[in-house]
C-alpha cells in the first residue's frame, strides 16, 4: 500500500501541500489536464524550486487574474459538484470544502448556505483543495498520515479584522487533532491546510512502519527561524495486514420518527463518518427502538456528535475506540464492454479478493436492462484476468 506521511514540523498550508506533492514527482502537465475539468479560468499555477535555509523544496504560487472575494460556500461547493472531475475527486474535495464552510458557519453563527468564505472564498482555495486531492490520486496514494500540528503565536490581519493565531476557523477545524506550540511567531497552520489534513489524514502521530521511496518538501511563503517547509514522505507500508484505530458511537433512540433516519444517515456520511447503520432493538419496558451506530476517524467525532444532538432526539451517546485490521487493497479501473468500472482488489496470502463497485454496476444495469448480478460477474472475471496477466 502506497502512503504519504506529512511531517508538519513547521506547519501546513494548501500551497505547501501542493509543493510537497510536486517535489515528490507529481506530473505538472497531467495535473493541469485533470484540473481543467473544474471548468474555471482566470488563474495560472507557477511551480518552481526554492530554498528555505539549507533545504531545497518546491514552491507553488496560484496567480489569480481577477481576485473575487466573499464567495458563498454553496457557490464554491457547487462549482466542484457541477464539474467534470472524476467522482472520487469530487467527493473528497467536497468533503474538505464542506468542513471548512461548517467551521466558518459555527464561528459566525450563520447558516451554511449563507456563509461567505472571505480569504477562503477565492479560486486559490478551490485549486488548493481540488489540486491536492487530484495530486494524491495521480501519485497513487492510498492512505495519508500526519504528524501532530504546531500552532503559531501572535495575530494576523483578515477580512474580519485582527485575529489571534491560530485563526478561529483553523482551531475549529482542528478539533480532535493533536496540536502543540513550537514557539514560532506567525500563522503556521492555515484554515485551508487544516481543512485538508484533518479531513484526509487517517491518524496523527509518529510515522508508521514504511519503506521510504521518495521525500518531498513544499515551501511556504514566509520566513521563520526554522525552514518554512512541509516534508512529505512517500513509501510502501510493509505490513501484510494494516492496523488503524477508529471511534465507534452508539446511540439508542426510541422516541423519534423513523422517517428521519435516512436524512440523519446522509448528514453523518457527509460529515466524515466511515459507516452508519441502524439496528432494531428492544429497550426497557419492552419498547421497540433503534440503535444508531457510527464508525468514524477520531477527528470527526465532535462534528458527528453535534449532528446527533441537533438532528435526533438523543441527549447522550456512547463512544469508544476500536482497532481495525484490514487487508491491503487498491482500486483499479477495468475496461468492460459498457465502459470503465472501478474494482476493489484486496489480497490475502497473495490471493486476490475482487469486488466490483456497486454504483458503477448499477448505472450499467439501469442503462442496459441487464441483470446487475450478470454485470458484476462479468466485471469480476475481467478483473481476475487482468490481475493474472499483470
Q: Residue 154 — left, alpha, or beta (φ > 0 → left; ψ -120 to 50 → alpha)? A: left
**Are 270 and 156 part of one and the same domain?**
no
**Are 307 and 336 part of one and the same domain?**
no
Supply the CATH number for residue 288's domain.
Answer: 3.30.70.1380
**Are 145 and 261 part of one and the same domain?**
no
pLDDT digits (tens, 9 = 90+) for 194-235: 999 999 998 888 888 788 999 999 999 888 888 999 999 999
Distance between CA atoms of 247 and 300, rounded to whole angstroms?
Answer: 9
**Are 226 and 322 part of one and the same domain?**
no
| pLDDT for the residue 67 | 58
Beta bridge partners, 335, equal: 340
Q: What is the pLDDT along the chain (390 residues), one digit of tens a residue?
A: 789 999 999 999 999 999 999 999 999 999 999 999 999 888 899 999 999 888 999 999 998 876 555 567 778 888 899 999 998 899 999 999 988 888 877 776 666 665 555 454 478 889 999 999 999 999 999 889 999 999 877 776 666 667 777 888 899 899 888 899 877 888 899 999 999 999 999 888 888 878 899 999 999 988 888 899 999 999 987 656 667 788 999 999 999 999 999 999 999 998 889 999 999 999 988 889 999 999 998 878 989 999 999 999 999 999 998 888 877 777 888 889 998 899 988 877 667 889 999 999 999 999 999 999 999 999 999 988 887 755
Beta bridge partners, 347, equal: 352
Cell of 306: 453535534
* β-strand pairing of 161-164 with 155-158: antiparallel
Cell of 337: 464492454
Residue with cell 471548468: 39
For helices 260-270 and 301-311, give the axis angle rounded to 10 degrees: 160
Asked if residue 167 has a cis previous peptide bond (ω within 30° of 0), the answer is no
User: From residue 9, how far is each of 80, 163, 171, 260 by CA, in Å?
Assistant: 31, 23, 18, 44
**Are 120 and 190 part of one and the same domain?**
yes
Of 237, 252, 269, the residue at which a domain comes to its end is 237
Distance between CA atoms of 246 and 293, rounded to whole angstroms?
Answer: 13
User: From residue 288, how far is each of 99, 243, 253, 281 by CA, in Å?
Assistant: 35, 36, 9, 6
**Are 318 and 365 part of one and the same domain?**
no
User: From residue 24, how far is each of 52, 88, 144, 201 by CA, in Å?
Assistant: 17, 22, 14, 18
Distance between CA atoms of 55 and 85, rounded to whole angstroms?
Answer: 35
pLDDT digits (tens, 9 = 90+) for 52-62: 888 999 999 99
**Are 33 and 107 part of one and the same domain?**
yes
**Are 350 and 317 part of one and the same domain?**
no
Contact 230, 21 (CB under 8 A): no
| pLDDT for the residue 300 | 85
**Are 316 and 340 part of one and the same domain?**
no
Distance between CA atoms of 59 and 18, rounded to whole angstroms?
Answer: 8
The 3-class SS string of the chain reads CEEEEEECECEECHHHHHHHHHHCCCCHHHHHHHHHHHCCCCEEEEEEEEEECCEEEEEEEEEECCCCCCCEHHHHHHHHHCCCCCHHHHHHHHHHHHHHHHHHHHHHCCCHHHCECHHHHCHHHHHHHHHHHHHHHHCCCCEEEECCEEEEECEEEECCEEEECCCHHHHHHCCCCCEEEEEEECCCECHHHHHHHHHHCCCECCCCCEEEEEEEEEECCCCCCCCCEEEEEEEEECCCCEEEEEEEEEEEECCCCCCHHHHHHHHHHHCCCCEEEEEEEECHHHCEEEEEEEEECHHHHHHHHHHHHHHCCCCCCEEEEEEEEECCEEEEEEEECCEEEEEEEEEECCEEEEEECHHHHHHHHHHHCCCHHHHHHHHHHHHHHHHHHC
**Are 262 and 221 part of one and the same domain?**
no
| CB-side neighbour CA atoms (13 Å) of 153 | 6
| Structural domains counted in the chain | 3
**Are 139 and 232 part of one and the same domain?**
yes
Of 237, 256, 284, the residue at which a domain comes to its end is 237
Of 237, 257, 275, the residue at which a domain comes to its end is 237
Give the structural domain span for 287: 243-326
Supply the CATH number for residue 356's domain.
Answer: 3.10.20.300
- The pTM for the full model equals 0.63
| pLDDT for the residue 309 | 95
**Are 227 and 257 part of one and the same domain?**
no
User: From residue 358, how far is each of 280, 361, 362, 377 by CA, in Å?
Assistant: 26, 5, 6, 12
Distance between CA atoms of 353 and 163, rounded to whole angstroms?
Answer: 52
Amino acid at each position: 500500500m502506497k502512503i504519504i506521511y506529512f511531517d508538519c514540523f513547521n506547519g501546513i498550508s494548501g500551497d505547501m501541500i501542493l509543493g510537497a506533492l510536486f517535489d515528490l514527482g507529481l506530473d505538472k502537465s497531467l495535473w493541469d489536464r485533470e484540473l481543467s475539468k473544474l471548468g474555471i479560468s482566470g488563474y495560472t499555477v507557477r511551480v518552481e524550486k526554492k530554498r528555505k535555509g539549507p533545504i531545497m523544496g518546491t514552491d507553488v504560487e496560484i496567480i489569480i487574474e481577477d481576485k473575487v472575494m466573499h464567495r458563498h460556500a454553496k457557490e464554491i461547493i457547487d462549482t466542484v459538484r457541477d464539474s467534470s472531475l472524476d467522482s472520487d475527486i469530487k467527493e473528497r474535495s467536497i468533503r474538505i470544502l464542506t468542513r471548512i464552510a461548517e467551521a466558518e458557519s459555527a464561528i459566525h453563527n450563520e447558516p451554511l448556505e449563507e456563509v461567505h468564505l472571505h480569504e477562503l472564498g477565492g479560486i486559490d482555495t478551490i485549486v488548493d483543495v481540488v489540486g491536492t486531492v487530484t495530486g494524491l490520486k495521480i501519485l497513487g496514494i492510498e492512505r495519508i498520515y500526519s504528524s501532530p500540528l504546531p500552532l503559531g503565536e501572535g495575530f494576523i490581519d483578515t477580512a474580519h479584522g485582527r485575529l489571534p493565531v491560530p485563526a478561529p476557523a483553523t482551531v475549529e477545524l482542528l478539533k480532535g487533532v493533536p496540536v502543540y506550540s513550537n514557539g514560532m511567531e506567525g500563522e503556521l497552520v492555515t484554515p485551508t491546510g487544516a481543512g485538508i489534513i484533518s479531513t484526509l489524514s487517517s491518524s496523527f502521530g509518529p510515522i508508521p512502519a514504511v519503506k521510504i521511496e521518495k521525500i518531498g518538501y513544499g515551501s511556504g511563503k514566509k520566513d521563520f527561524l526554522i525552514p518554512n517547509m512541509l516534508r512529505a514522505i512517500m513509501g510502501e507500508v510493509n505490513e501484510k495486514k494494516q492496523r488503524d484505530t477508529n471511534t465507534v458511537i452508539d446511540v439508542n433512540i426510541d422516541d423519534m420518527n423513523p422517517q428521519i433516519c435516512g436524512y440523519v444517515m446522509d448528514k453523518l456520511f457527509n460529515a466524515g463518518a466511515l459507516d452508519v447503520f441502524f439496528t432494531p432493538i428492544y429497550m426497557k419496558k419492552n419498547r421497540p427502538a433503534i440503535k444508531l451506530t457510527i464508525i468514524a476517524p477520531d477527528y470527526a467525532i465532535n462534528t458527528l456528535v453535534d449532528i446527533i444532538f441537533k438532528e435526533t432526539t438523543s441527549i447522550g451517546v456512547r463512544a469508544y475506540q476500536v482497532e481495525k485490521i484490514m487487508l491491503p487493497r487498491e482500486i483499479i479501473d477495468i475496461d468492460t464492454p459498457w465502459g470503465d468500472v472501478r474494482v476493489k482488489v484486496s489480497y490475502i496470502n497473495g490471493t486476490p479478493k475482487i469486488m466490483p463497485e456497486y454504483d458503477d454496476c448499477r448505472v450499467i444495469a439501469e442503462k442496459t436492462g441487464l441483470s446487475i448480478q450478470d454485470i458484476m460477474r462479468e466485471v469480476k472475471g475481467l478483473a481476475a484476468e487482468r490481475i493474472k496477466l499483470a
